[in-house]
Amino acid sequence: MPLVTDPQVLRDIATRIRILSVESTSAANSGHPTTCSSIAEVLSVLFFNTMRYTTSSPKDPSSDRFVLSKGHAAPALYAAWVENGLVQEKDLLKLRQLGCDLEGHPTPRLNFVDVGTGSLGQGLAIAAGMGYAVKNYDKIDARVYCLIGDGESAEGSIWESIAFISHYNLDNVTLIIDVNRLGQSEPTTLGHNLNLYKARLEAFGWNAIVVDGHNVEALVKAFDVAATTKNKPTALIAKTYKGRDFPGIEDKENWHGKALGKETERVLGHLRGLLKNQGQLKYTIPKPLTVAPQVNITNIQLSSPPNYKLGEALATRQSYGTALVKIAQSNPRVIALDGDMKNSTFSEQLKKYDASRYIECFIAEQNLVGAAIGAACRDRVVAFVSTFAAFLTRAFDQIRMGAISQTNVNFVGSHCGVSIGEDGASQMALEDIGMFRSIPGSTVFYPADAVSCERAVELAANSPGICYIRVNRPPTKVVYANNHQFQIGKANVLLSSNNDQVLFIGGGVTLQEGLAAAAQLAQQKVNVRVLDPFTVKPIDQQAIIKNARECGGRILVVEDHYPEGGLGEAVLSAVAEERDIYVRKVAVPKVPRSGTTAGVLDYYGLSAKHIVNYLLEVLKK
């Protein structure tokens, strides 16, 4: 899009963005006005000349997208939406106040924000996922703009996304690097050496343009080059100054993250003096070129019910692959992403069924997660992300921010626990349940068998918030009938009698070991009740308390996880306010070793043999 708005108007809007940024942060007495100032012209040109969108419908899927990866410049973004009329100026003066959605960093509580930002280096993965979905699923002409800081470009996640975007030729994605030279506590490593950024981007397959980030005409032209450059993405390397047009502050250190305080009025006076036009400004916001298709991602179902035999043994990771294809058969917007583990996680089943709906993200888990969150924005797809559960820890920050972003992405972690055996500790997820439980609003599934795993996938596809499904590497026996009805937060009692003395709770492999232990003890006339929580979060508090009481207030929890944050502590939280319930918790106590599955399960005390002994001890309590 070439120049459609008078450049002086664009300059004045940039100045007004600066004024509002200063006013709002000074009113809040905190925030990052100098960070806002360096990007004022970029925002002015994007929002009032280049981007195609509809102010009244800020999340219209047909529109161009903007991701402010450097989230601490939030007031500048808010100011742009004040200028175009969506946000009221008086609200911006409540910046950072409790109850005001114009928070310190952007979140989707605001109707013009797709994702939460503020943990640096994450926005470009979001843009990558948006660009991929727009190009390959919506197949429309919408463009995605992502603005990052120069200090932020040190984050490795940025380079994962840079590689991903060029590998998939996402020419609808434009990156803008705000090279203002100054980090929080000292200058960046590259300073204003713009050609170094250019060389790095070019080596990663990008078209890279060095541009004066305070020159609106140059920006318009560069964005036009970006829009017309095909088969490779374009980056604008914008030379800017932190605190631009703040006399005495511009380009100076020690002004990061500080409201201007007693300098406020002096700076505002200078800025107001720069305005050439007063009152209502005349600008053109181009309309979207194409219309995004309507999509329906509700009520997703398995195309056929689970079809297993009781007692049949197979790995839940395998039934994940089966279920993924089944929901993909029933809804064309189901997609999967993986980090070069598809032949271990069985996500390759979807690639075999419909290669267009599988996104290979290679060994780059942070971009993997971010791209999924980006693709799922504006409810365009239902995304499943899989890899070894241990490697999802690589993206904990992205997952954490995913909750702030109100994402509905589903995660599947395979190769959990010591039960993977020979590969050893580095590949064993033993903290994954704890990690996903700590995500606000999350649902954590821990299917015991193939039937429950298929239903977990189906439920996850339809559940809001982040869902996590923990799947096993070794086979587990089918314990549910194919027609069993599962619910989130509803436990199932797999074994019970009128005379149970202990309630056993396990998950996946340990549930199976517990069933074997209970069978052994039954021969000694010791009755054990076995409960499968199905979801660790929310956990079925009512069922646990009721069944525990019926078992003399005795619970044994055995889990293939470290002792902290997992199933055991979920059970403890459920019974915290109950007096008279005894809980024995068994978990993996230290960094484990390689060995066979059966060998390590036994060595770390998780096998049926050990569970028999724990149960005999617990029933004396």
Distance CA 556, CA 567 (A): 11
Kindly state the smallest distance separating residue 388's Cβ from its own copies, in Å: 9
DSSP reduced 3-state for 80 = helix
Residue with token string 């006399």: 247
- Read off the tokens for 465: 């918030």
Which residue among the candidates 23, 360, 365, 431 is catalytic per the annotation? Answer: 365
Kindly state the smallest distance separating residue 8's Cβ from its own copies, in Å: 35
Kindly state the smallest distance separating residue 433's Cβ from its own copies, in Å: 9
**Nearer Cβ to its own copies, position 489 or 563?**
563
According to DSSP, the residues that pair with 176 across neighbouring strands are 147, 236
**Nearer Cβ to its own copies, position 544 or 570?**
570
Asked if 548 and 528 touch (Cβ cutoff 8 Å), the reply is no
DSSP state of 286: P
Cα-based distances in Å from 128 to 261, 334, 378: 38, 18, 14
Asked if 194 and 179 touch (Cβ cutoff 8 Å), the reply is yes
**Nearer Cβ to its own copies, position 184 or 303?**
184
**Nearer Cβ to its own copies, position 3 or 27?**
27
Kindly state the smallest distance separating residue 39's Cβ from its own copies, in Å: 17
C-beta contacts of 293-299 below 8 A and 24+ residues apart = 293/138, 293/139, 293/140, 295/333, 295/379, 295/380, 295/381, 296/331, 296/333, 297/331, 297/333, 297/379, 297/380, 297/381, 297/382, 298/462, 299/462
**Nearer Cβ to its own copies, position 515 or 581?**
581
Would you tell me how many other CB atoms lie within 10 Å of the CB of residue 370? 34
Asked if 413 and 429 touch (Cβ cutoff 8 Å), the reply is yes
**Nearer Cβ to its own copies, position 135 or 585?**
585
Q: Burial level of 349, CB count in 10 A (0-12/13-18/19+)?
A: buried
- Measured N-to-C along each axis, helices 216-228 and 7-28 cross at an angle, to the nearest 10 degrees, of 100
Q: Which of 387, 379, 383, 385 is nearest to 334 (CA)?
A: 383
Look at the chain and count its residues. Answer: 621
Kindly state the smallest distance separating residue 397's Cβ from its own copies, in Å: 4
**Nearer Cβ to its own copies, position 40 or 401?**
401
Whether 23 sits among the annotated catalytic residues: the reply is no
Query: At 18, which amino acid appears?
Result: R
- Read off the tokens for 432: 């994954």
Q: Which of 386, 434, 412 is nearest to 560 (CA)?
A: 434
Kindly state the smallest distance separating residue 525's Cβ from its own copies, in Å: 25
Distance CA 15, CA 559 (A): 59
Kindly state the smallest distance separating residue 336's Cβ from its own copies, in Å: 13
Kindly state the smallest distance separating residue 294's Cβ from its own copies, in Å: 30
**Nearer Cβ to its own copies, position 524 or 577?**
577
Kindly state the smallest distance separating residue 340's Cβ from its own copies, in Å: 5
Asked if 264 and 279 touch (Cβ cutoff 8 Å), the reply is no
What is the signed CA dihedral for 444, 164, 199, 1, rounded to 10 degrees?
A: -110
**Nearer Cβ to its own copies, position 167 or 490?**
167
Query: At 107, which amino acid appears?
Result: T
**Nearer Cβ to its own copies, position 248 or 589?**
589
Kindly state the smallest distance separating residue 324's Cβ from its own copies, in Å: 15
DSSP reduced 3-state for 476 = strand
Residue with token string 């996500």: 347
**Active-site residue set:** 365
